[in-house]
Amino acid sequence: MVSQALRDLFSRDGDTFQISFLLKEIEDLGAHIVLADGQPVIRGDRSIISPDLLARLKEGRALIIEHLREQAAHSPERAEGIEQERSGIRKDMETGKLHVFGNPSSQWLMAQGWEWDKHRRRFMAPYPFDREDPHPSCMIGGGPKLPDDYPELMFEPQNVQAA
């Protein structure tokens, strides 16, 4: 017969294994989960996460938070990296197209001239600079180009709130 303490210990390790497996599955899809203000947030392409995987993430929400806090406690440099993650717009030097990285606010993107496309369910750069727009070489006359002094990276200003 196994004591209740041992049974709890083994079930706890099983939960940790399941949470690690879920987080690895999310990373394999090209996204990751971070803690933002103590809440788990999915960063990256969320549209490729299946509904059943989302349901499993919601079921294990408390364990995911605990797991991420433990990781941050054991690896302070990783925790600092999460805190300092920046968002913004990146210019692809080869194609001249603009890409969003991180998780910029919708207000900042709209101020940069981006518009929400309800069919694609994402923000799109002004035509013809979105990643799905045709390459300027496919347009008559080569199409418009970004100015030569357009920055390769444009970071969203970080919101620093005084306590």
Closest-CA residue to 96 (of 47, 134, 54): 134
CA geometry: angle 45, 159, 36, nearest 5 deg:
50
Are 18 and 61 contacting, i.e. CB atoms less than 8 angstroms apart? no
Q: How far apart are CA 76 and CA 63, in angstroms?
A: 20
DSSP 3-state assignment of 47? helix
Report pLDDT for 115: 92
Angle between helices 61-74 and 4-28 (to 10 degrees): 80
Q: How far apart are CA 13 and CA 15, in angstroms?
A: 5
Instruction: Tell me the per-residue pLDDT of 77-100, one tens digit each, with 9 for 90 and over.
Output: 544 444 446 788 888 888 888 988
Tokens for 94, please give them. 């080869």
**Global pTM exceeds 0.75:** no
Instruction: Tell me the per-residue pLDDT of 9-63, one tens digit each, with 9 for 90 and over.
Output: 555 455 666 788 888 888 877 778 888 877 888 887 777 788 888 888 888 888 8
Report pLDDT for 14: 57
